[in-house]
Amino acid sequence: MRVVLIGTNPLTLATARMLQDEGVDVILIERDKERIEQLSEQLDCGFLHGDAGSPDVLKEAEPENTDALFSLLDNEQTNIIVALVARSLKFSRVVPLVAESQFERICTELGLADTVAPNRAVARHLVNQIRGEKSLELAAIIHRDAEVFSFIVTQDEAGPLADFSLPKATRIICLYRHEKLVLPEETDRLAADDEVIVITRPSRLDELKRLWERPAKPDERSE
């Protein structure tokens, strides 16, 4: 497996080290040449010097030979731009990090399905600790034969929950309405801009992405 990581902040470096421990081939893209020289003595991975927002730089990372690209920079707008450029270059999987919920929604609308949003997960974990409850990470309870997917309900799709059509082997877990959790039995309708969370089989994931990922605009497609 080969993974490209953008930047060299603490989260990125921690991820790089863990991936290397798993035997993954890691490539780091960094714009600071002195930083690369410093880290090359500490990490046994590949380095590319340049701005990851540049298509020419990302092309050097060999999209066709890369399994995933992670943009975990502190600036979430930059992460989104990098992810969009990487997707246009046909990286098979792009994973941007976003902290604020407003950017989570933008990523969903842009079809960036693998967005990492740590703030909500960490906040929930801390609240559970205060309550004396044990937190369970989703990854620990969702096994390999299941996938979780989310999408935003459009104006045309809004209506009675009972009439909402989903692919086979797909069920709604919950939804978020105005940033508040709503369980299926607590509402009989889906409203525009609801964020719906579903569980499905891995074989259905591509179908869900085709149904709810926003089609790329002409200027987002590679020539």
**The CATH number of the domain where 84 resides is what?**
3.40.50.720
Residues 111 and 6 in one domain: yes
Q: Is there a contact between 99 and 195 (Cβ–Cβ < 8 Å)?
A: no
> Rounded to the nearest 5 degrees, what angle is found at the Cα of 31, between the Cα atoms of 29 and 33?
100
- The CATH number assigned to the domain holding 166 equals 3.30.70.1450
Predicted TM-score (pTM) of this structure? 0.59
| Domain end (from 63, 89, 121) | 121
Q: Which residues contact 177 (CB under 8 A, 6 or more apart)?
A: 187, 191, 193, 194, 195
Structure tokens at 53: 């927002």
Pairing of strands 94-96, 25-30: unpaired
pLDDT at 205: 85
Mean pLDDT by 10 residues, the chain (223 residues): 94 91 94 93 92 94 95 89 93 87 73 71 62 59 73 92 91 89 91 91 87 55 39
pLDDT at 222: 40
| Domain tally, the chain | 2
Query: Which run of H or of E encompasses 176?
Result: strand 170-177
- Give the structural domain span for 208: 142-212
Residues 115 and 152 in one domain: no
- Distance between CA 25 and CA 23 in Å, rounded? 7
Residues 35 and 98 in one domain: yes
| Domain end (from 121, 152, 178) | 121
